[in-house]
């Protein structure tokens, strides 16, 4: 009996150990879901955990999510079915799904039009889902539409059957593609990739929220002609989009319930004939240049002029058949009539009009009236008559460093940032050389790049050792890849405006137009901010000019956001999306 008791006890002990081990292995069955192959630092951790926690994509039951495994077509049907919960269908148009464990899901999604029946009447349930197929079913499942007059196309999507679906997915910022400029449509879709695409589709469909990256005028309808005179959504405001886009126009409502139309990215129109360009919405400010017929992006309209995007800035073009309207009034703005000008078309004709009581003047428009302001009155009256875009403009003192080929961009940015702290401290300390910084990093002459942690530590250590003014630098990321640029803008702007730090950004240069087709991770320092005519950062770029046939280094202003996802925000977001380094040192 004693021996038997010991045997039973031993058996129970072994069973207890095995069961305990199973509990740890099958952690996903417990309240806190964990997967061996999805550590918290994984680039798609948030998206995969969302899928698992909401029972959309389950793990394998052995503690693994299968992040790098390819998705079968029948599994994709199951994932969408679990989220959409569609009505089941009994009709079966396929000849190859009888043995599929997900027949019900396939048929339900086919009835919805998410999957279509091919000429062979095959679903191919056990074939891997391609990225083109993933884009197609997600666009259909979440009823996604093309946004903001999107005209970008991946290099490998021209002529592809799924080109339109991929455009929709990209315009909604649900995907950035794979390699630079490519979508890789025929590549198989992994479970981690599908998790990201579906997660972004779900949240895009649910929220339809937009954060504005500049002060945005609100209009009474989808036209620049009738604005709300006293209503502007401030930069950083969140609005809810209530309708599908109409040629760049969005009908939105803010948190206070105010609704109206905005065109945050401009409206594209066809310029069907040659147009003269102006620096301001007045006939007295010509550029003496013109624009050939082409498609242009209009961002506002004022006093019979349209404001259009021109490269990194903007110009004004007159509306068709522009003429000085009605009557001309005096400069005192008391509506004292000076002359009738119903047939006058420009400043010269008005000046030569015999009835004019003013010999030398500047024509200024205000509302629907035209005023003839004597030249000596222009300066005094400018606060009333001359209009300018509202916004901010400021720079900080950062000395440009050309990076050494042996040490790359990290040490150069350290010296650039320290030059700012030296300037605000009034210090005479000698800044370290790039060689010294590189040796501190351990990257000297070994063809290795810097890390964000290296750069942060080097700047903080030198500042502390020499008593330079400014805050300690910290590391940061763009927390949500589907977010607009608000996080980036506010952090960079505040650091410079408060003169605490010179922010350093990690960028993917393929998203900065001046770099052309180049593709690599690169650090730059930001030394200025302006929102007066489109949001731009002043970049101090240490890139060695000999590394490219293009002039890319030096100091330049660059837009934070372009309509086709290029610009500093896109470059930072891409670096964050594909890399492990923090993209902000600020």
Beta-carbon-side half-sphere exposure of residue 14 (alpha carbons within 13 Å): 6
Q: Please provide the DSSP assignment of 42-93 as one string.
A: -TTHHHHHHHHHTTSS---SSS---TTSBPBHHHHHHHHHHHH-PPP-----
Structural domains of the chain sorted by starting position, each given as residue range(s) with its CATH number in brackets:
35-206 (no CATH), 209-262 (2.30.30.40), 267-318 (2.30.30), 327-385 (no CATH), 393-585 (3.90.70)
**Predicted structure pTM score:** 0.40
- Residues ≥6 apart with Cβ < 8 Å to 565: 152, 170, 173, 176, 511
Full pLDDT tens readout for the chain, 586 residues:
344 444 444 443 333 333 333 333 333 433 468 899 999 888 889 999 999 999 999 988 889 999 999 999 999 999 999 998 888 888 899 999 999 999 999 999 999 999 999 999 999 999 999 999 999 999 999 888 876 556 677 888 989 999 999 998 887 778 878 876 789 999 999 999 999 999 988 877 554 667 676 778 898 877 787 788 778 888 777 787 766 566 678 878 887 888 888 888 788 777 777 888 888 877 667 777 788 888 788 888 876 788 887 765 788 887 753 333 334 444 443 444 444 333 333 333 333 333 333 333 344 444 444 444 443 333 333 322 222 334 677 888 898 888 887 778 899 999 999 999 998 998 888 899 888 888 777 654 344 568 898 899 999 999 998 999 999 999 988 765 555 567 788 889 888 888 899 999 999 888 887 776 566 789 999 998 887 667 889 999 988 654 444 457 788 888 887 655 678 988 888 888 767 788 999 9
> Do residues 513 and 557 lie in contact, with contact meaning Cβ atoms separated by under 8 Å?
no
431-450 burial, b for 16+ CB within 10 Å, e for fewer?
A: bbebebbbebbebbeeeebb
Distance CA 100, CA 296 (A): 52
What CA–CA distance (Å, rounded) separates 85 from 81? Answer: 5
What is residue 498's three-state secondary structure?
coil
Closest CA to 384 of 329, 327, 453: 329
């Amino acid at each position: 009996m004693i021996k038997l008791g010991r045997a039973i006890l031993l058996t129970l002990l072994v069973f207890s150990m095995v069961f305990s081990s199973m509990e740890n292995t099958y952690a996903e069955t417990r309240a806190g879901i964990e997967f061996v192959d999805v550590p918290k630092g994984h680039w798609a951790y948030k998206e995969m955990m969302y899928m698992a926690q909401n029972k959309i994509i389950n793990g394998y039951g052995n503690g693994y999510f299968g992040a790098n495994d390819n998705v079968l077509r029948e599994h994709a049907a199951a994932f969408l079915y679990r989220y959409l919960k569609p009505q089941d269908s009994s009709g079966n148009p396929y000849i190859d799904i009888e043995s599929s464990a997900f027949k019900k899901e396939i048929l339900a999604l086919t009835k919805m039009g998410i999957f279509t029946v091919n000429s062979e009447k095959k679903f191919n349930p056990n074939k891997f889902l391609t990225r083109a197929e993933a884009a197609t079913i997600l666009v259909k499942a979440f009823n996604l539409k093309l946004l903001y007059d999107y005209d970008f196309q991946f290099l490998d999507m021209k002529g592809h059957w799924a080109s339109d679906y991929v455009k929709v997915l990209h315009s909604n910022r649900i995907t950035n593609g794979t390699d630079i400029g490519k979508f890789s449509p025929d590549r198989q879709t992994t479970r981690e990739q599908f998790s990201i695409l579906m997660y972004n589709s779900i949240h895009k469909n649910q929220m339809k929220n937009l954060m504005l990256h500049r002060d945005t005028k609100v209009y009474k309808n989808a036209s620049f002609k009738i604005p709300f005179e006293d209503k502007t959504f401030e930069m950083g405001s969140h609005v809810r989009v209530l309708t599908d886009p109409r040629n760049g126009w969005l009908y939105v409502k803010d948190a206070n319930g105010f609704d109206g139309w905005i065109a945050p990215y401009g409206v594209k129109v066809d310029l069907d004939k040659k147009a003269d360009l102006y620096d301001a919405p007045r006939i007295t400010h010509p550029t003496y240049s013109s624009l050939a017929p082409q498609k242009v992006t209009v961002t506002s309209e004022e006093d019979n002029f349209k404001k259009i995007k021109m490269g990194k800035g903007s110009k004004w073009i007159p509306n068709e058949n522009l003429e000085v309207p009605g009557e001309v009034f005096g400069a005192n703005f008391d509506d004292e009539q000076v002359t009738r000008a119903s047939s006058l078309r420009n400043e010269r004709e008005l000046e030569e009009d015999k009835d004019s009581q003013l010999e030398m003047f500047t024509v200024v428009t205000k509302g629907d009236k035209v005023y003839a302001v004597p030249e000596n009155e222009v300066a005094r009256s400018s606060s009333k008559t001359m209009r300018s875009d509202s916004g901010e403009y400021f720079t900080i003192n950062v000395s440009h460093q050309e990076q050494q080929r042996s040490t790359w961009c990290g040490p150069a940015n350290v010296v650039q940032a320290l030059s700012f702290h030296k300037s605000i401290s009034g210090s005479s300390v000698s800044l370290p050389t790039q060689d010294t910084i590189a040796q501190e990093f351990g990257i000297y002459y070994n063809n290795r790049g810097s890390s964000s942690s290296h750069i942060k530590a080097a700047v903080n250590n030198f500042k502390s050792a020499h008593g330079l003014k400014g805050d300690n630098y910290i590391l940061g990321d763009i927390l949500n890849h589907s977010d607009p640029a608000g996080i980036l803008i506010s952090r960079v702007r505040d650091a410079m405006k408060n003169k605490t730090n010179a922010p350093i950004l990690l960028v993917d240069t393929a998203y900065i137009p001046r770099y052309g087709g180049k593709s690599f991770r690169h650090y730059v320092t930001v030394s200025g901010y302006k929102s007066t005519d489109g949001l731009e950062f002043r970049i101090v770029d240490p890139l060695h000019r000999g590394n490219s046939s293009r002039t890319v280094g030096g100091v330049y202003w660059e837009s934070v956001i372009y309509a086709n996802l290029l610009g500093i925000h896109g470059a930072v977001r891409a670096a964050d999306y594909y890399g492990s380094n923090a993209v902000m040192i600020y």
